[in-house]
Structure 1
Amino acid sequence: MTRSATGPAPAAPLPSPKERRRLREARALSEAQVAAAVGVTPATVRAWETGRTSPRGRRRTAYARLIGCDEHRPAPPPSVEATGSSTMSPTEPGTGTTPDAPTPEEPSLDAPTPEAPAAAAPPALDLPAQEGSAHGTTAPDAHAPAPRPSAGLTAEEAYDALYGRAAPGLTRQMYLLTGRRKLAREAVEHAFRIAWQRWPEVARDRDPAGWVRAASYEYAMSPWHRLRRAHRRPDALPEDPARHALLDALLGLPPAYRRTLLLHDGVGLGLPETAAETEASTPATASRLLNARAAVAERLPGTVEPTEPGGRPALHDRLGALALAEEVPEPPPAPAVRAGSERIAELWTRAALCFGVLLIGTTAFTLHTAPTQYEQPLAPAERVAGVPPRGGPEKLTPQDLKLQKSLRGELTHGPERLVPRIP
């Protein structure tokens, strides 16, 4: 008995959740791209790759075909290292064309990769590393993590690639978050210094650019900057009335609201991703976003309404235009940041060694000078049953005994002493 051509196809086999993630990353696909192609949310794809749930029906077949583990197409190589490249693209069997995947329709605050040229897009904060090419490229999907370094790159080359991709746009984000140009550059430089010190951890992260962004936001929003004279007050606001009002409204929000609004409406992260990056629950993040939008809409009416049904609010494009119009200091070169990170790590290592030597010396000195046994102190005299304490001389101390012995041993000079004797 043969299966009908119009009958249901057998379920595509799926590997383990860990293998699903490896296959997706081997094809340089993000969770958002897979979610859009299959017709689910990025959180659902993440649940498939962690083993909490599994796809079913047509979504299971589409997901298996997309990551390359269906029965009609051979699986990709066992690892990215074996191919020497991490930029492979999935192709439809027999056609040589890529499957249907969402193309980025809106710019995000993250800097784009130089390998993704596309049509001109509205201004946004996703400036590339090269000057003057902001309107010639569009940013990748806002939820798409930065491509992980391939095995053919050294640690320095992979770090420099991530720095060149993320640093320019991240500096503009920090300016909108703080209103201080110097602090924006300092926060990005500090985050990338920490990233180089922990590079093995960052390189294995699912989203290296998101790791650096979170570190930059934490440093920029630290309340300790209020104690520094250079960062007590924000820089002068733009002269243009529209940009002046927008930046003033943004800086007037509480720090938590400002960060949530910038990540969701500026960078383009989803509500679960924004909640995870701000270390808050999804309901709390939604409440912060609504309150921030209400505060901005009160000062700038018509800003938070979407430009089209189901699209991004107009605030997304206005934030991008504001960041592009302002002059933000360029971040230092990547080799300089790496050298500064290594120098700071060396200084901290020396300081830790000196502190350890000082602690060991102090401990040795204390052990050498401390008493070896406990000497119970003499209790003061007390009245017992109404009898007063003895008023005579107390017990001689060792010093008194030593003095007495020395006086007895000395010879007398002059007339003989009268020594009373008992008859």
Structure 2
Amino acid sequence: MTPRQTDVALTPAQAFDALYEFCAPALVRQTYLLTGRRESARAAVERAFELAWQRWPEVARDRDPAGWVRATAYECALSPWHRFHPLRRPDPPPADAKDRELLDALLRLPPPYRRTLLLYDGVGLDLPETAAETEASTPAAARRLTRARAAVAERIPELADCRLLHRRLAELASTDRLRAARPTVVRSLGERRVRLWTRAAIALTASVVGATALTLRTAPTHFDKPPGPAQAVRGVPPRAALGPLSAKELALRAKLRQESAHGPERLLPVPG
């Protein structure tokens, strides 16, 4: 179901605000049944609408814009990274004992079963629409729905009646008066987030370009072949130690020492 269309052409901001005011309050309550945490549900819905505003030309032409936002909000709420969100903290349980019992039974279901049960018995989608939104085949969605109903009925036997289950889910979702932020706030947050990501992307690109330029400037322009491994030189005779001089060698040394400065073969400078 989409907001009532008028004959007056709406600006993109006005169309987004109309969709937000029509869907956000109920969607926050539905997402609360998925997470069991009020602030986490509100954050998931606001994030889904931020993404919708960033892709508004695509969402505005979608066959079911409300379904697009709902699917995105459920994906955000059930994301594995959502457990690290700073808003993920224990919430006080519902005041009514029956509401606490039903919420506990829902949160014990596997996330795909919980989502299928909420879409079919809570939101009121038919089986093909539920299968399409959960990205499953129709038989797979039917099996999930059957097992989810059986698990809830095992803990709360009176909810084996599907009509009673639908009514109890609607009552549980409307117990807490959960409010979403104003659409103008969500639009401004989405635009701010886009600007931050754009600046981060520009800074990262500039860093990569600078690192590439520095690498090109300092990188060698030719290839120097590395020296080969050292090899032992063979065939060189071992260095022998000098032994004692013979008598002939001693006489020769003494003669050379005596004639080193006065030998006839040596030329001496003549003064003057």
Tell me, yes or no, whether TM beats 0.5. yes
Q: Which position in structure 2 is the counterpart of 1:322?
A: 172
Q: Which position in structure 2 is the counterpart of 1:239?
A: 95
Structure whose alpha-carbon radius of gyration is higher = 2
Percentage of matched positions with identical amino acids: 57
Q: Which position in structure 1 is the counterpart of 2:143?
A: 287
d(CA) in 2 for partners of 1:390, 1:355:
62
1:157 partnered with 2:14: yes
What letter is aligned with 2:133?
Answer: E
1:377 partnered with 2:233: no
Residues 271 and 282, structure 1, Cα contact 8 Å, conserved in 2? yes
Q: Which runs of 4+ in 1 moved over 3 A?
A: 144-151, 387-391
Which of 107, 116, 122 is the equivalent residue of 1:260?
Answer: 116
What letter is aligned with 2:210?
Answer: G
What letter is aligned with 1:358?
Answer: S
Larger RCO (alpha carbons 8 Å, 6+ apart): 2
d(CA) in 1 for partners of 2:209, 2:236:
50
Task: Specify every segment of 5 or more residues in structure 1 that has no aligned partner in the other structure, as ranges.
Answer: 1-143, 307-312, 392-423
Which of 272, 275, 291 is the equivalent residue of 2:131?
Answer: 275
Q: Which position in structure 1 is the counterpart of 2:201?
A: 352
CA shift digits 1:183-236 (9 cap, x unpaired): 111011101111111000000000000000011001111122223454153x12
Q: Which position in structure 2 is the counterpart of 1:248?
A: 104
d(CA) in 2 for partners of 1:151, 1:173:
31
Identify the structure with the greater helix proportion: 2
What letter is aligned with 2:69?
Answer: V
Residues 3 and 18, structure 2, Cα contact 8 Å, conserved in 1? no
d(CA) in 2 for partners of 1:173, 1:236:
17
Where do 1:181-220 residues align within 5 Å? Answer: 181-220=38-77
Root-mean-square deviation (CA, aligned residues, Å) is: 2.1
d(CA) in 1 for partners of 2:235, 2:172:
90
Classify 1:181/1:148 alpha carbon distance in 2 versus 1 (closer, same or farther; 3 Å): same
Counterpart secondary structure, 2:168: helix
Q: Give 1:314 deviation, angstroms.
A: 1.4
Residues 148 and 203, structure 1, Cα contact 8 Å, conserved in 2? no
Q: Which position in structure 1 is the counterpart of 2:159?
A: 303
Residues 148 and 208, structure 1, Cα contact 8 Å, conserved in 2? no
Q: Taking structure 1 as the reference length, what is the TM-score of the superposition?
A: 0.53
d(CA) in 2 for partners of 1:157, 1:260:
32
CA shift digits 1:33-89 (9 cap, x unpaired): xxxxxxxxxxxxxxxxxxxxxxxxxxxxxxxxxxxxxxxxxxxxxxxxxxxxxxxxx
d(CA) in 1 for partners of 2:210, 2:222:
22
d(CA) in 2 for partners of 1:276, 1:333:
30
CA shift digits 1:265-305 (9 cap, x unpaired): 10111111111111112221111111100000001112132
What letter is aligned with 2:51?
Answer: I
Aligned residues: 237
Classify 1:248/1:380 alpha carbon distance in 2 versus 1 (closer, same or farther; 3 Å): same
Task: Specify every segment of 5 or more residues in structure 2 that has no aligned partner in the other structure, as ranges.
Answer: 238-272
Classify 1:305/1:197 alpha carbon distance in 2 versus 1 (closer, same or farther; 3 Å): same
d(CA) in 2 for partners of 1:389, 1:335:
92
Q: Which position in structure 1 is the counterpart of 2:255?
A: none
d(CA) in 2 for partners of 1:373, 1:206:
61
Residues 194 and 341, structure 1, Cα contact 8 Å, conserved in 2? yes
Q: Give 1:251 deviation, angstroms.
A: 1.1
Classify 1:176/1:150 alpha carbon distance in 2 versus 1 (closer, same or farther; 3 Å): farther
d(CA) in 2 for partners of 1:184, 1:243:
18
d(CA) in 1 for partners of 2:170, 2:154:
20
242-251 or 199-208, larger mean C-alpha shift: 242-251
Which of 334, 337, 342 is the equivalent residue of 2:183?
Answer: 334
1:361 partnered with 2:210: yes
